[in-house]
Chain A
């Protein structure tokens, strides 16, 4: 069994300030973890993924996430928000094998204030 909890449904930050989007997971396996971003009227785009290698994962557009097994967390961060970061962000957990169930969080809507 697996689940993912995104702790904030909405996050609002000022342009140029740090971004923190929180995600906790549970999994019976050694999980794969992903962050995807969804801009309005556009498809989901992969930001980064954790697949049991380095625990600090760097993604596109300056985002990174740290896998913390002891805290079952995979929080997404960015040092400085840009207006173009405003979107919905999804934390995703899946099993280690192809075809295993993929579970999305409910999403966090990021608002960036100029």
Chain B
């Protein structure tokens, strides 16, 4: 069984640029969530996708957007990067349903200079 994978592992961008992060869900999981983990903090929920539609969102501005594809892989796009966007971005997949646990990928470390 393949776990959750994310690419790239590290990324450096300049303020104002745009970035796309990618995630492949664990086999059989059709729900994916994205989180931002700043240094020394707990992960913060960005949004969740189910059946290719956004299914829930945290307190993040619209410049954070996502996509989910028919094979359940997913992208996180961030426009107009700010210095505070520097963080570890985590993807988590899960089976559909209520009260289910999530399986996390290793994350993408984004540095904005």
Contacts and interface: CB of A to CB of B under 8 A. Distances in A.
A48 to B, nearest CB: 9
Nearest to B92: A44
Q: Which of A45, A97, A98 has the most CB of B within 10 A?
A: A98
A98 B55 contact: yes
Contacts, number: 63
Mostly, the B contact residues are loop
Contact of A98 (B4, B31, B35, B105): B31
Interface residues of A, number: 26
Interface string A76-114: 000000000000001000101111111111110000000
Q: Which of B42, B44, B101 has the most CB of A within 10 A?
A: B42
A14 interface: no
Contact of A43 (B33, B56, B97, B105): B105
Contact of A101 (B50, B56, B100): B56
B101 A34 contact: yes
Contacts of B3: 43
A72 interface: no
Contacts of B99: 32, 49, 51-52, 94, 96
Interface of A: 32, 34, 36, 41-46, 49, 51-52, 90, 94, 96-107
